[in-house]
Amino acid sequence: MTPLQILLAGAGALLGLAPAVVALGRSPGARALTYGGALTLCGLTGAVALLSLLGLASPTGDAVLPLGLPWVGARFHLDALSAAFLVVVNLGGAVASFYALGYGRHETEPQRVQPFYLAFLAGMNLVVLAADAFSFLIAWEVMSLASWALVVARHREAGNVRAGYVYLLMASFGALSLLLAFGLLAGPQGAYAFDAMRAHRAAGAVAALVLALAILGAGSKAGLVPLHVWLPLAHPAAPSHVSALMSGVMTKVAVYAFIRIVFDLAGPPDWWWSLPVLVLGGATTVMGVLQALMQQDLKRVLAFSTVENVGVVFIGLGLALAFRAAQLPAAAALSMTAALFHVFNHAAFKSLLFFGAGAVQEATGERDIERLGGLIQRMPQTALAFLGGSLAISALPPLNGFVSEWLTFQAILMSPRLEAWALKLLVPAVGALMALSAALAAACFVRVFGIVFLGRPRSAAAGGARETDLFCRTALLALAGICLVVGVLPGFVIDALAPAAEAAVGGRLPAQVSQPWLSIVPIAESRSSYNGILVLAFIAGSAGMCAAAIHQFASRQTRRGPAWDCGAPDPSPATQYTAASFAQPIRRVFATTLLAAREDVDMPQPGELRASRFQATIGDPIWRTLYAPIAWSVDLAAERLNRLQFLTIRLYLSLVFFALIGLLLVLALWT
């Protein structure tokens, strides 16, 4: 069998398992079958995709199945780009399945989750493999609808139904945009196969329209601001292993769709194509991380942080477009590699963080970080893994998040080579936004980790937490290990991604593994290089020496001194630092304008006995200015049209009659 056949068989088997799981219903066997089967199949397909990405198995392949449109068939194609994304999808899928072997035990209604979980995985695999618009959109819709079903699986919890509704609307909107984009690419002949689209390129206004539609379609699924509104609602609503897949993997499938359409199908870019992508990417990073800083719900923080990371990926893609249009293949390859690397990294650490959030939620029943605390004593291994994920997402060396953001900054530093003045000015500004968001992301995860895992428990539930089960811990620590290894040895990943970047932008970075001491040197030794091993060794060495010095020289003698509050603390956990107070300075500086944050102090008059009140509120200007008017006008139109439902029979007949007469009159007057 060729790799492509194995991959298709794997996706087909995932789809085929779903009815079997439905038949098994609520039995524990269904859980084992679902997650065990998904683990096996994702592991297999991920391994095959990895082998073909590394060139060990045949890297390309084509298949045409006799399904779908009769003159197109269902076409599938494997190339380096799809292989790279398949690795991300199936790594995420396999780890999530392993995690769910333990986590799924807590599911109250597993029959609402398991079949859709399998269909969701199959849909994501097929989107990446599809090679004609028809199969692409079908797979895309399978992915969307299955994930929608997973979002509303716990439909009795407050807010989940609304989350599902908003998600469904945005998903339909995105699919419609992609449909129109493919329609434009196919041209009047209706050439829906990707090969045929490549053969005759779109140009001028049509290409611009395709770009706009691709941004709308893929961007709404990936969570680009201002199309991100569904994401922070829907991702937390799903069970945690599904949240991890939606945040870590599904947004990446959307990134794949963008790359496939804009870089591959729409043809060689003009320089200005990068403008909207860069602007939206920059806005997305800052808005995402600011919102993440303001949230109290742990999974919501993570969902907004996904928005931020999608922004980072899109900045990389925008740079790749700019450099490719400027005929700078090495810089384009650097930007594309950075974007793909960040795709992989984000899939790893965001899955890890969502798994950690799921473990915390199962252990305490809480998602509100203001009611957690002190979990590092009760869940030490979860805390360790979560700390690793937080460090990685905050882009601290020697973890993987640092490498991809560093590569993106290297690409930003190449911007003086661009010719267009608009880009010369815009790219550094976007770089500043990204730097700001990286710092804010670090603040955000200091806040999350510090409030959730450090300090004293803020509620009885947090005080009674127990360490999570073995499957969950293994999945968490495995992902933390991946984050560390990839961060220390990034050269291997960069080399593995090189063919994918080459497929997208036509250039490739110099081979990194052959560099001395496994450094990475994206452009030239004289400009910049990074060595993960060295940084790790330095951190381990200096930390070890500090610890040794303290143990060696610090006195163990008991000292007596006057009592002060830190020595004899008030036992109430309310005296601790809170998440809201941590975020307050940032809220005052940035969120007052960007998020319409308001603080209201209600101070009683002298002599009044009531307590004073302080209330901090966060608005959402994007929702208010963009979505609320749309919702209002749709409501108005629906209300007006609703009257048509209550006409008499004769009036309905008259409507038909007069419509017919009108059309005939047009015909009579026209000819």
Partner 1 sequence: MSDLSFDIAHLLAGGLVLISLLMLYQDRLTALINVFAAQAVTLSLSVAWQAYVQQAPHLYVTAVIALAFKALAIPVALHRIIKRLGIHREIDQVVGVGPTMLAGIGLVALALVVMLGVTSEADRLAREDLAFALSVVLLGLLMMITRRNAVGLVVGFMSLENGLVLAAAGAKGMPLVVEISVAFSVLVAFIVIGVFLFRIRERFETVDVAALDRFRGGQG
Residues in binding contact with partner 1, number by CB under 8 A? 16
Q: Residue 465 and residue 362: Cα distance in Å, rounded?
A: 9
Q: Residue 327 and residue 337: Cα distance in Å, rounded?
A: 17
Q: Residue 245 and residue 119: Cα distance in Å, rounded?
A: 13
Q: Residue 373 carries which DSSP code? A: -
Nearer to partner 1, 558 or 642 (CB): 642
Which of the stretches 94-102, 144-152, 407-415, 662-670 binds partner 1 when contact is defined by CB under 8 A?
662-670
Nearer to partner 1, 546 or 661 (CB): 661
CA dist list (Å): 386 to 44, 290, 378, 447, 474: 27, 21, 14, 13, 13
Polymer length in residues for the chain: 671
As measured in angstroms, the least distance from the Cβ of 150 to partner 1 is 40
Nearer to partner 1, 566 or 668 (CB): 668
Which of the stretches 55-63, 195-203, 358-366, 643-651 binds partner 1 when contact is defined by CB under 8 A?
643-651
DSSP string computed for 372-418:
---HHHHSHHHHHHHHHHHHHHTT-TTSHHHHHHHHHHHHHHTGGG-
Q: Residue 425 and residue 282: Cα distance in Å, rounded?
A: 14
| β-bridge pairing 598-602 and 613-617 | antiparallel
User: Residue 659 interacts with partner 1 (CB under 8 A)?
Assistant: no
As measured in angstroms, the least distance from the Cβ of 646 to partner 1 is 6
Q: Residue 465 and residue 66: Cα distance in Å, rounded?
A: 54
Q: Residue 198 and residue 342: Cα distance in Å, rounded?
A: 27
DSSP string computed for 52-102:
HHTTSS---EEEEES-SSTTT-EEEEE-HHHHHHHHHHHHHHHHHHHHHHH
As measured in angstroms, the least distance from the Cβ of 639 to partner 1 is 17
HSE value, Cβ hemisphere, 13 Å, CA-based, for 331: 20
User: Residue 639 interacts with partner 1 (CB under 8 A)?
Assistant: no
Selection from 346, 357, 385, 224 nearest residue 300 by Cα: 357
Nearer to partner 1, 566 or 649 (CB): 649
As measured in angstroms, the least distance from the Cβ of 133 to partner 1 is 37
User: Residue 646 interacts with partner 1 (CB under 8 A)?
Assistant: yes
User: Maximum CA pair distance of the chain?
Assistant: 107
User: Residue 660 interacts with partner 1 (CB under 8 A)?
Assistant: yes
Nearer to partner 1, 158 or 668 (CB): 668
As measured in angstroms, the least distance from the Cβ of 665 to partner 1 is 7
As measured in angstroms, the least distance from the Cβ of 656 to partner 1 is 7
Which of the stretches 15-23, 78-86, 372-380, 651-659 binds partner 1 when contact is defined by CB under 8 A?
651-659
As measured in angstroms, the least distance from the Cβ of 635 to partner 1 is 22
**Cα 425-430-434 angle, rounded to 5 deg:** 155
Nearer to partner 1, 611 or 667 (CB): 667
Q: Residue 601 carries which DSSP code? A: E
User: Residue 661 interacts with partner 1 (CB under 8 A)?
Assistant: yes
User: Residue 657 interacts with partner 1 (CB under 8 A)?
Assistant: yes
Residue type, 98: F
Contact 72, 127 (CB under 8 A): no
User: Residue 665 interacts with partner 1 (CB under 8 A)?
Assistant: yes
As measured in angstroms, the least distance from the Cβ of 651 to partner 1 is 8
Q: Name the strand (E) or helix (H) holding 615.
A: strand 613-617
User: Residue 647 interacts with partner 1 (CB under 8 A)?
Assistant: yes
CA dist list (Å): 136 to 17, 85, 155, 516: 21, 15, 29, 43
Nearer to partner 1, 432 or 664 (CB): 664
As measured in angstroms, the least distance from the Cβ of 650 to partner 1 is 6
User: Residue 642 interacts with partner 1 (CB under 8 A)?
Assistant: no
Helix axes of 490-505 and 298-325: crossing angle, nearest 10 degrees: 60
Q: Residue 552 and residue 638: Cα distance in Å, rounded?
A: 76
Which of the stretches 324-332, 498-506, 627-635, 656-664 binds partner 1 when contact is defined by CB under 8 A?
656-664
As measured in angstroms, the least distance from the Cβ of 663 to partner 1 is 10
Which of the stretches 2-10, 102-110, 458-466, 644-652 binds partner 1 when contact is defined by CB under 8 A?
644-652
As measured in angstroms, the least distance from the Cβ of 645 to partner 1 is 9
User: Residue 517 interacts with partner 1 (CB under 8 A)?
Assistant: no
Binding residue for partner 1, selected from 205, 568, 609, 668, defined by CB under 8 A = 668
Binding residue for partner 1, selected from 551, 559, 640, 650, defined by CB under 8 A = 650
Q: Using CB under 8 A, which residues numbered 200 to 219 contact partner 1?
A: none
Nearer to partner 1, 158 or 649 (CB): 649
Contact 318, 263 (CB under 8 A): no
User: Residue 644 interacts with partner 1 (CB under 8 A)?
Assistant: no
Q: Residue 521 carries which DSSP code? A: -
CA dist list (Å): 405 to 316, 346, 418, 439, 495: 9, 11, 20, 12, 17
Write the binding mask 562 to 601 for partner 1: x where contact by CB under 8 A, - elsewhere. Answer: ----------------------------------------
As measured in angstroms, the least distance from the Cβ of 640 to partner 1 is 17
As measured in angstroms, the least distance from the Cβ of 666 to partner 1 is 10
Q: Residue 256 and residue 87: Cα distance in Å, rounded?
A: 12
Radius of gyration in angstroms for the set of CA atoms belonging to the chain, rounded to a whole number = 27
Contact 305, 292 (CB under 8 A): yes
Contact 333, 502 (CB under 8 A): yes
Nearer to partner 1, 641 or 649 (CB): 649
Nearer to partner 1, 65 or 664 (CB): 664
Which of the stretches 58-66, 531-539, 549-557, 660-668 binds partner 1 when contact is defined by CB under 8 A?
660-668
Nearer to partner 1, 551 or 643 (CB): 643
As measured in angstroms, the least distance from the Cβ of 659 to partner 1 is 11
Write the binding mask 596 to 635 for partner 1: x where contact by CB under 8 A, - elsewhere. Answer: ----------------------------------------
User: Residue 649 interacts with partner 1 (CB under 8 A)?
Assistant: yes
Nearer to partner 1, 543 or 656 (CB): 656
Structure tokens at 103: 């986590």
Contact 154, 95 (CB under 8 A): no
HSE value, Cβ hemisphere, 13 Å, CA-based, for 224: 26
User: Residue 667 interacts with partner 1 (CB under 8 A)?
Assistant: yes
User: Residue 656 interacts with partner 1 (CB under 8 A)?
Assistant: yes
Q: Residue 534 and residue 520: Cα distance in Å, rounded?
A: 12
User: Residue 664 interacts with partner 1 (CB under 8 A)?
Assistant: yes
CA dist list (Å): 610 to 558, 572, 575, 600, 615: 46, 22, 21, 16, 15
Which of the stretches 104-112, 206-214, 248-256, 648-656 binds partner 1 when contact is defined by CB under 8 A?
648-656
Contact 277, 255 (CB under 8 A): no
Structure tokens at 493: 């990943």
Report the interface residues with partner 1, using CB under 8 A. Answer: 646-650, 653-654, 656-657, 660-661, 664-665, 667-668, 671
